[in-house]
Structure 1
Amino acid sequence: MTTVGIAEAKNMLPELIRAVEAGEQVVITRHGVPVAQIAPPPPTKRKVILGGMEGQIRFKPGWDEAITEEDLLGSRL
């Protein structure tokens, strides 16, 4: 982990960004107290594709048949 003061960080921002790209953690301090951290951006979300699992999911026969409350709850009635 690299720790730098605000003035130093201002003067060496490109180098600090390269360090973050390489996996290093960079903490910026003011008078020795951490005030910020440079980190990589969050991973991008995958785009949802409707129908993307079509043909890969199969339901057993009778999966949509009605059931009684007793069947649902068992013997807890």
Structure 2
Amino acid sequence: MTSVNLADAKAHLSELVAQAEAGEEICITRRGKPVAHLTKVQAQRRPVALAALRAVTDTMPMQTIGAGELLRQMRDESRY
């Protein structure tokens, strides 16, 4: 974790934000005492709409062969 005093944080905010975005934690201090932490924001995950997913998958035909065999067929039928 990088520690930066408040005056330096004001002067180099863009650089500190870039470092935080890259995954580094920044501790901002005032008179040597921690007052804030700058960290990367975790992307919020949207919940899966199960009804919509089921509506899509119910319209798909069932596969007659396994995934491995399907990939082998696709590979063998392709031109390199």
Runs of 4+ in 1 over 2 A off after TM superposition: 52-56
1:15 aligned partner: 15
Calculate the aligned-residue CA RMSD, in Å: 2.0
Structure number, greater radius of gyration: 1
Distance in 1 (alpha carbons) for counterparts of 2:29 and 2:22: 21
Count how many residue pairs are aligned between Structure 1 and Structure 2: 56
Partner of 1:73: none
Kindly provide the CA deviation profile for residues 22-62 of structure 1, in whole angstroms up to 9, marking residues without a partner as x. Answer: 11110000000000000112321314415034678xxxxxx
Identity %: 41
**TM-score normalised per structure 2:** 0.59
TM-score normalised over the length of structure 1: 0.61
State how far apart, in whole Å, the 2-side matches of 1:53 and 1:10 are: 51
User: Contact between 2:5 and 2:30, CA under 8 Å: does it hold in 1?
Assistant: yes
Q: Does 1:4 pair with 2:4?
A: yes
Residue 33 (structure 1) aligns with: 33
Q: Any conservation in 1 of the 2:27–2:38 contact (CA below 8 Å)?
A: yes
Structure 1 unaligned residues grouped into runs of 5+: 57-77
Distance (Å, rounded) in 1 between the aligned partners of 2:54 and 2:32: 53
